[in-house]
Amino acid sequence: MSNSTTVQSVDRAIAILEILAREGDSRVTDLATELDVHKSTASRLLAALEHGGLVEQSGDRGRYRLGFGVIRLAGAATAQLDLAKESRPICLRLAETVGETVNIAVPRDGDAVNISQVRGPAAISGHNWVGQRTPSHATSSGKVLLAYGALRVLAELERYTPRTITSPDGLGLDEIRERGWASTVEELELGLNAVAAPIRGRDGSVVAAVSASGPSYRLTPQRLPEVAARLVEAAREISQRLGYYR
């Protein structure tokens, strides 16, 4: 299947979801007519969406409606938006206090993905990490998510700098859980250090990490425990805003 055909199929699948959201239950023939495609094409797209739980057949044979998979996705998006919103004032205060860039990262398909960023007054980098995937083993947020089981350690760990840890046993995940925070020293980029702490959801599971990163000449290894203490407190406050009170 060519790239153009794949994109066309995705566009049509999205159109089906939009039609069902607007019209409710719809027959295959009606969907095919609105999409201006053959009935077999509409049926094939519906079968793929049904396999993913995004649509389901209603009581009447041949009619489809949105499935519970859409609710699951909507819930995940809402939770992510809630996390970014609830953590924002705390991250602003934290960035001002430590003077470094503060990020919130969540687990996504084996990586840590940053969903929010605040630059501190001393931050000199203009790099925007929001929306970017970062390798879990080479970032402080990723190590937190690995240590608390939100991500799994890959069998093969890619090297990004001479200081990148490429052995799962060398990540020190037990120590991270014991002290309550993780750090990286020039493991993703030379000249960049970072430290992170876990954010817990309502049920107590770790759902995200809050991190502070900065140039290695300022965010030195000696300074990491001091910044970590502030991150742990900030993470606790964010967790409480998400409903975790233990």
Q: What is the pLDDT of residues 216-232, one digit of tens each?
A: 999 999 999 999 999 99
For residue 182, the cross-strand partners are: 196
What is residue 81's predicted lDDT score, i.e. its pLDDT?
53
Q: Record the tokens describing residue 175, joined without a space.
A: 């120590």
Q: How far is CA 198 from the centre of its chain?
A: 14
Q: Mean pLDDT over residues 79-104, rounded? A: 86
Greatest alpha-carbon pair distance for the chain in Å reads: 67
| Domain parsing of the chain, residue ranges | 3-66, 76-241
Q: Mean pLDDT over residues 191-220, rounded? A: 94
Q: Mean pLDDT over residues 59-85, rounded? A: 69
Mapping DSSP to helix (H, G, I), strand (E, B) and coil, where does residue 112 land? strand
Whether 160 shows a pLDDT value over 60: the answer reads yes
Q: How far is the first Cα of the chain from the last one, in angstroms, to the nearest whole number?
A: 52
Complete DSSP assignment for 167-235: -GGGG-HHHHHHHT-EEEESSSSTTEEEEEEEEE-TTS-EEEEEEEEEETTTS-TTTHHHHHHHHHHHH
Rounded Cα distance between 207 and 198, Å, is: 8
What is residue 184's predicted lDDT score, i.e. its pLDDT?
98
Q: Record the tokens describing residue 137, joined without a space.
A: 């083993």
DSSP secondary structure code for residue 121 in this structure: T
CATH architecture group of domain 76-241: 2-Layer Sandwich (3.30)
At residue 7 the predicted structure's pLDDT band, cuts being 50, 70 and 90, is: confident
Whether 132 shows a pLDDT value over 90: the answer reads no
CATH architecture group of domain 3-66: Orthogonal Bundle (1.10)
